[in-house]
Amino acid sequence: MDSEDQANLDDFGPFGRPLFMGEKARALSRVGVVDVGSNSVRLVVFDGAARSPAYFFNEKVMAGLGEGIAQSGKLNPTGRTRALSAIRRFQRLADGLETGPLTAVATAAVREASDGPEFRDLIESETGLKLWVIDGQEEARLSAQGVLLGWPGSYGLVCDIGGASMELAEISEGRVGKRVTSQLGPQRLMSAKGGKRGRKEIIRNTLQSLHENLGPQHNRLFLVGGSWRAIARIDMQRRGYPLHVLHEYRMSRKAVNETANYIAKSDHEKLRQACGVSSNRMNLVPIAAEVLKEVVKEFRPHDIAVSSYGIREGMLYEQMPQALRDRDPLIESCMFSEAKDARIPGFGRTLFEFIQPLFKSASRERLRLIKAACLLHDVSWRAHPDYRAETCFDLATRANLGGLRHSERVFLGLALLFRYSNSGKNSRFEAMYDLLPEADQRVAEAVGKAMRFGAMLWLARDAQMGKLRLFPKKRILELTLSPEATPLFGEVAEARFNSLAQTFPATPKVHLAK
């Protein structure tokens, strides 16, 4: 990093400078991970801002390695063939994508099968890829670290379900605590003796034992794994939920029970098609729903959050220095996007400092969203002017951004929508607005209109634009422009300033430099 860049990093406000610019973070800029599970085999290549990486490549093959393992004790022969073929492809792709050496792990099916060691050796001899077979405790730890990638500092219980096993791990203050593993994978439970009644007894007895080992767990329950995500998709469909983003989707204990019953009573093929779930996954969903219903009953979490991050993200987290782990994934990702796509990288910080006085009473959590909006305010400039507002809303609500609740996605989306539009009415996104309280919608509108006005005073990234002051009791919005910015305060800028004043509402007052 040259001296000019270093000078510009001295003060990035309350959320610090972007660590992706550092050498250690850049070393993680492209990382390839292979996850050989009991049900699927997947390659993920992470790229971009290391703390909140983009999914540069993501491919999955439903190999079914663990199918029938409870009876035969061996890997499924068809699954072996499919998995080996997929790994050959992944290795060749990694060479072309320049990931460096792939990191590959195998979980329950390979570690438990009698022919698991032979299969591992076959993979290494045919592809050169060394497959690390991890035990249940390590699987639980890596899955929990994946959750911490998206929610730094989180607390609660991580529940990761695969085809042949289910792991639980405590997280608190950014650390992984107690971990336990079980054989409550839906592939394995398919062959449980005694049918549904026998399966239910196995699930209950196992969960009681796990609960005794872990102790009370009434905080948040984080759900990791494809079967949990499929259940969440079905819950969204049942509720008519408008935002189809699985990460950070929330369910109550009541919703889990209602959806489990809904799955049991539904035509599974029609449900699969309606929710976009694969046939192989749908075969496991009814049993996974039985397990989840009992998990919730046994541990009684105060809320339930779906995590799209799991063991693969946990393997990336494993390679991060602690300073990078401690970063806010949202702010880091937005800073990276601004540096890559904005017309004047660095102006987002100037804009944030300019509009921040309007939100003096805002909490740190709200300021974080305002900072994110300012960093993203110009990254969609290449979109057609008629569609920039929609493009921005899509970016905030559907992009791979970590550390965001769904309501926060809508807040960020609305702020960016009002950055490019004076009205949010008659938008195809209106159904999502209800995920955010009306008072917060008005704040998001004010943030957007403040950015819309501030962008009219576009100077160099470190320029002095002037000062904004809001006097809520007097209902006055005061603008004092710097000498540099005064020539920019033309007719359109004045109209945007007046529109901003109306959102509070307040009387606009302008002081021009002479």
Confidence of residue 403 (pLDDT cuts 50, 70, 90): confident
What's the pLDDT tens digit per position in 14-33? 445 444 455 555 555 678 89
Strand partners for 179: 169
**Higher pLDDT residue, 246 or 426?**
246
Q: How many CA atoms lie within 13 A of 272 on its CB side?
A: 14
| Stretch 241-246: mean pLDDT | 95
What's the pLDDT tens digit per position in 204-226? 999 999 999 998 888 999 999 99
What's the pLDDT tens digit per position in 98-151? 888 888 999 999 999 999 999 999 999 999 999 999 999 999 999 999 999 988
What is the 8-class DSSP label of residue 350? Answer: H
- How far apart CA 235 and CA 225 sit, in angstroms, is 16
Q: How many CB atoms lie within 10 A of CB 374?
A: 30
274 contact partners, CB below 8 Å, separation of at least 6: 237
78 contact partners, CB below 8 Å, separation of at least 6: 64
29-133 topology per CATH: Nucleotidyltransferase; domain 5 (3.30.420)
Q: Which residues of 104-122 are buried (b: 16+ CB within 10 A; e: fewer)?
A: bbbbbbbbbbeebeebbee
| Stretch 384-412: mean pLDDT | 91
| pLDDT on residue 336 | 86
What's the pLDDT tens digit per position in 429-454? 999 999 999 999 999 999 999 999 99
The domains spanning 29-133 and 137-310 adopt the same CATH topology: yes
Domain boundaries of the chain, sorted by first residue: 29-133, 137-310, 325-511
**Higher pLDDT residue, 424 or 141?**
141
| Stretch 340-353: mean pLDDT | 92
What is the 8-class DSSP label of residue 194? Answer: T
| Stretch 325-349: mean pLDDT | 90
| Stretch 84-91: mean pLDDT | 96
| pLDDT on residue 4 | 38
| H or E segment and range at residue 176 | strand 175-182
**Higher pLDDT residue, 484 or 479?**
479
- How far apart CA 53 and CA 336 sit, in angstroms, is 10
73 contact partners, CB below 8 Å, separation of at least 6: 113, 114
Cα dist. 137→141, 144, 176, 203 in Å? 6, 11, 11, 19
What pTM did the predictor assign? Answer: 0.89
- Amino acid residing at 363: S
The pLDDT mean for the chain works out to 90
Cβ(124)–Cβ(131) below 8 Å: yes
- How far apart CA 510 and CA 497 sit, in angstroms, is 9
Cβ(48)–Cβ(56) below 8 Å: yes
- Amino acid residing at 273: Q
| pLDDT on residue 22 | 55
Percent of the chain with pLDDT over 90: 75
pLDDT at 53 > cutoff 80 = no
- Amino acid residing at 50: A
| pLDDT on residue 98 | 84
| pLDDT on residue 24 | 55
Percent of the chain with pLDDT over 70: 93
CATH class of 325-511: mainly alpha
Q: How many CB atoms lie within 10 A of CB 191?
A: 12
**Higher pLDDT residue, 189 or 319?**
189
| pLDDT on residue 5 | 41
**Higher pLDDT residue, 362 or 48?**
362
| Stretch 343-370: mean pLDDT | 94
Alpha helices by DSSP H, listed for 190-225, are 195-214
pLDDT at 97 > cutoff 50 = yes
| pLDDT on residue 393 | 94
Q: What is the CATH number of domain 137-310?
A: 3.30.420.150
Confidence of residue 61 (pLDDT cuts 50, 70, 90): very high
